[in-house]
């Protein structure tokens, strides 16, 4: 285990020294970077497009996750009692939206909206 660690450290330093060799006044790393930059941009653009697509799919998934039926009936059965509970999902949603957060001032709200619009 310790021998493998020393091998990895030695390999790292050997690669580092190899990439520092000057060729035409610049390190070899600069020449390799210049040659691989277009491929890196293509890969980065593809990854960004994939992330955007997955974000859109996730937003659609969660926006459609609200139950279409407005109420749900839940029955509890136990040895001691029987009862029925009805949940009204639209009332729960309205209650969540109506919650006001009094911890911040109007200046805080304006600063937050400015930050969001600039982002």
Q: Give the range with max mean pLDDT: 20-29, 54-63, 86-95.
A: 20-29
Give the pLDDT score at 96.
Answer: 67
61-83 confidence digits (pLDDT tens):
777 666 555 555 555 555 445 55
Q: Where do runs of H (alpha helix) occur along the chain?
A: 2-19, 28-63, 89-98, 106-118
Between CA 116 and CA 119 the distance in angstroms is 5
**Whole-structure pTM value:** 0.36
Location of structure tokens 């805080």:
108
| Lookup: tokens for 27 | 């390190």
Round to whole Å and give the CA distance between 107 and 115. 12
Comparing C-alpha atoms, which of 96, 76, 97, 95 is closest to residue 85? 76
pLDDT, tens digit (0-9, with 9 covering 90-100), for 24-43: 889 999 988 888 888 989 99
């Amino acid at each position: 285990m310790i021998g493998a660690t020393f091998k990895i450290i030695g390999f790292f330093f050997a690669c580092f020294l190899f990439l520092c060799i000057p060729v035409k006044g610049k390190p070899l790393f600069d020449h390799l970077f210049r040659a691989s930059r277009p491929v890196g941009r293509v890969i980065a653009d593809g990854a960004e497009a994939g992330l955007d697509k997955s974000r859109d799919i996730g937003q659609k998934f969660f926006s459609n996750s609200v139950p279409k039926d407005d109420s749900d009936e839940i029955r509890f059965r136990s040895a001691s009692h029987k009862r029925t509970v009805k949940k009204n999902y639209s009332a729960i949603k309205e209650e969540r939206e109506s919650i006001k957060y009094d911890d911040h001032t109007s200046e805080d709200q304006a600063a937050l909206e400015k930050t969001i619009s600039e982002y």
